[in-house]
């Protein structure tokens, strides 16, 4: 495709993006299919080529699908609408050493997640009513630097308690901002070792 664009003289003003749908568990974490917040189910490939993109480079960090539209708009030098939830990563495509947005927030059924470049923190909530929807029933923390396959849940490891607290705070703030129905009730969170606390 890129060769065809070159031959037609279109490569100097064409942006090409290649991605796919969600990942897929094939027995990973004893799961089948996509139904989880593990990285194997939420991570997707993204390849970008164009005249304003650094060539043969990889960006470390996080991005999500809502970031693609604002990125295309900025790469095309168009005016960015103000109502978007996504954040352009144009700057990262032009200088791959720049940091990406600090976190992304995947969600699946009763689970909410905050993922940074270093960590993944997932929280699972009740389902019997609006109040119960904010009662945490389980949570997981994975350190990508030492455990990229998410095989060791560190949520009860004392050396990670501050990390759990920080990521929990980020997650609750994100939920309150984007899910107004849940903002009407207090969050009942789990502390390490399963202790609950009100927020």
* Domain of residue 166, CATH code: 3.30.1120.10
Q: Residue 78 is part of which domain span?
A: 2-94
Q: Are 64 and 115 in the same domain? A: no
CB atoms inside a 10 Å sphere around CB 18: 10
Contacts within 8 Å (CB) and 24+ apart, 164-173: 164/121, 164/139, 164/192, 167/114, 167/116, 167/119, 167/121, 167/141, 168/121, 168/123, 168/139, 170/103, 170/114, 171/105, 171/112, 171/113, 171/114, 171/121, 171/123, 172/199
Q: Has residue 76 been placed in a domain?
A: yes
Q: Are 137 and 74 in the same domain? A: no
Rounded to two decimals, the pTM is 0.83
Q: Are 124 and 184 in the same domain? A: yes
The number of C-alpha atoms within 13 Å of 11 and in the hemisphere containing its C-beta is 11
Q: Among the three residues 94, 126, 146, which one is the final residue of a domain in this structure?
A: 94
The number of domains in the chain is: 2
pLDDT at 42: 81
Q: What's the chain's Rg over C-alpha atoms?
A: 19
Q: Has residue 99 been placed in a domain?
A: no
pLDDT at 125: 84
pLDDT at 176: 86
Rounded Cα distance between 65 and 44, Å, is 10
pLDDT at 25: 64
pLDDT per position as a tens digit, 59-99: 999 999 999 999 999 999 999 998 888 999 999 999 999 99
Cβ–Cβ under 8 Å, residues 123 and 112: yes
Q: Are 48 and 86 in the same domain? A: yes
- Reference 125, options 77, 176, 188; nearest CA is 188
pLDDT at 9: 86
Q: Has residue 22 been placed in a domain?
A: yes
Under-50 pLDDT residues of the chain = 196, 198-199
Q: Are 7 and 72 in the same domain? A: yes
What are the C-alpha distances in Å from 193 to residues 26, 69, 190? 30, 41, 8
Q: Are 90 and 118 in the same domain? A: no
pLDDT at 199: 47
């Amino acid at each position: 495709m890129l060769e065809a664009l070159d031959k037609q003289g279109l490569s100097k003003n064409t942006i090409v993006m290649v991605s796919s749908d969600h990942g897929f568990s094939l027995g990973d974490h004893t799961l089948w299919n996509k139904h989880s917040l593990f990285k194997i189910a939420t991570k997707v490939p993204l390849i970008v080529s164009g005249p304003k993109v650094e060539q043969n480079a990889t960006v470390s960090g996080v991005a999500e699908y809502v970031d693609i539209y604002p990125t295309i708009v900025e790469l095309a030098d168009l005016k960015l609408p103000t109502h978007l939830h996504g954040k352009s990563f144009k700057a990262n495509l032009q200088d791959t050493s720049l940091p990406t947005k600090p976190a992304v927030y995947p969600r699946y059924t009763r689970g909410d997640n905050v993922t940074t470049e270093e960590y993944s923190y997932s929280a699972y909530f009740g389902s019997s009513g609006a109040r119960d929807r904010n009662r945490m029933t389980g949570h997981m923390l994975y350190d990508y630097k030492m455990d990229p396959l998410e095989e060791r849940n560190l949520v009860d490891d004392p050396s990670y308690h501050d990390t759990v607290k920080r990521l929990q705070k980020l997650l609750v703030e994100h939920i309150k901002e984007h899910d107004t129905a849940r903002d009407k009730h207090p969050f009942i969170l789990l502390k390490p070792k399963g202790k609950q606390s009100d927020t």
